[in-house]
Structure 1
Amino acid sequence: MRKILKSLIIMSFILASQLTFAGSFVDSATVTSVEKVFKQYRVDEPYQECYIKESVQSGDGSATNELMGAVLGGAIGNKLGDGDGKDAMTIFGAFLGASLANDAEKANGTGAVVSQEVCENKVRQVIEKRLSHYRVTVDYDGREVSFSSKKRPYDDVIKIEVSIEGL
């Protein structure tokens, strides 16, 4: 226990003797140059792309032809059917008549061409060049020193903070 205590005391004396001297003060320096430093940023830019879409609208837009085909087909199926199959033939005839009327309407080319404007929202990435900071170079006591600054210095002489560290 005594060895540990002695070791801790010796270590604290060694650390205390190694303390550094540090200080800072404000002084003036002459600005020799100011450079703008830019960075590139990737930015999403939305835009809208529009075009004309043409489509063929088949038929005349009404179901009259199909209904008439179903009625005629059902009537023919009813005449052809016998006994228990009469109902089945009537339904089959109605479906077949409606289908044939629809196909005939499409084959006649009675469809109209419909033009419609279609717009799509899209995003493209663009690279923008933006001001990041200023690289300021000053002459201080015959030495050229550079540093970064968010603000642009407008005076020829500026105040700087000088830090001194020594062992």
Structure 2
Amino acid sequence: MKKSTLLLAATLSTVTAVSMADNSFYDKARVINSQPLYETVRVNHPEERCWNERVEHRGGSRSDSYTPSIAGAIVGGVVGNQFGKGKGKDAMTVAGVLLGASVGNDLGKRPGRSYVTSERRCESVDNFREHEELVGYRVKYRYNGQVFHTRTSQDPGKFINVRVSVAPTEGANYDFREYD
């Protein structure tokens, strides 16, 4: 909007307000009916819900070292040496070493023991609640024999203040100067 249009609108509203101030007054009107107005309001009250959960933990491999393989080879060699005779004794010892090393390697890579713990888990859950909230009053009042309606923020009681403006009807030639 142009500045000149805004300036014109502001000037006209000021002139109108000043003119009306000269020809208006305040009075009381009788309230016929006053009804409270309610609005349903929905409010979120988030809640934290927690529970205990069982969690299973599996142990990793027991060892990444060569110790199980070496120990298996030694035990396998000793056992193999007990069964052979002559040149077969050497073959049984070698077979025992290889088999023992393989078994030791497999045992070393076997997972450790698993165990279960209880861990607390929590989450936020929306919890909406609705309630009625007073937002104002619908007021029906009578002034000078005529019935009017309005909305107020407070209950007016038996009477409501009104501003009365007096002006000639359209087309009349008048000015606002005071005459003695």
TM-score, length-scaled by structure 1: 0.56
Identity of aligned residues (%): 20
1:34 aligned partner: 34
| Deviation per residue, 1:64-98 (Å, 9 max, x gap) | x713975213555899xxxxxxxxxxxx9997554
The reply on whether 1:113 has 2:116 as its aligned counterpart is: yes
2:155 aligned partner: 152
User: Counterparts in 2 of 1:84-123, with a 5 A limit?
Assistant: 96-100=106-110, 102=111, 105-106=112-113, 111-123=114-126
2:163 aligned partner: 161
Unaligned runs of 5+ residues in structure 2 are 1-15, 77-101, 171-180
CA distance in 2, matches of 1:164, 1:74: 114
Shift of 1:42: 3.3
Equivalenced residues, count = 125
SS at match of 1:67: coil
| Cα 1:71–1:157 shift into 2, 3 Å | same
| Cα 1:95–1:42 shift into 2, 3 Å | farther
| Deviation per residue, 1:18-66 (Å, 9 max, x gap) | x9x954321111112211112233323211111221122334xxx7x71
CA distance in 1, matches of 2:53, 2:45: 25
2:127 aligned partner: 124
| Deviation per residue, 1:89-117 (Å, 9 max, x gap) | xxx999755422x1xx45xxxx3332233
CA distance in 1, matches of 2:136, 2:105: 78
| Cα 1:99–1:31 shift into 2, 3 Å | same
Shift of 1:122: 2.6
SS at match of 1:53: strand
SS at match of 1:73: helix
Unaligned runs of 5+ residues in structure 1 are 1-18, 80-91
| Cα 1:160–1:99 shift into 2, 3 Å | same
SS at match of 1:66: coil
Given that residues 31 and 142 in structure 2 are in contact (C-alpha distance below 8 angstroms), is that contact kept between their aligned partners in structure 1? yes
Structure holding more strand per residue: 1
Question: Which is higher, the Rg of structure 1 or of structure 2?
Answer: 2
Given that residues 69 and 105 in structure 2 are in contact (C-alpha distance below 8 angstroms), is that contact kept between their aligned partners in structure 1? yes
2:121 maps to amino acid? V
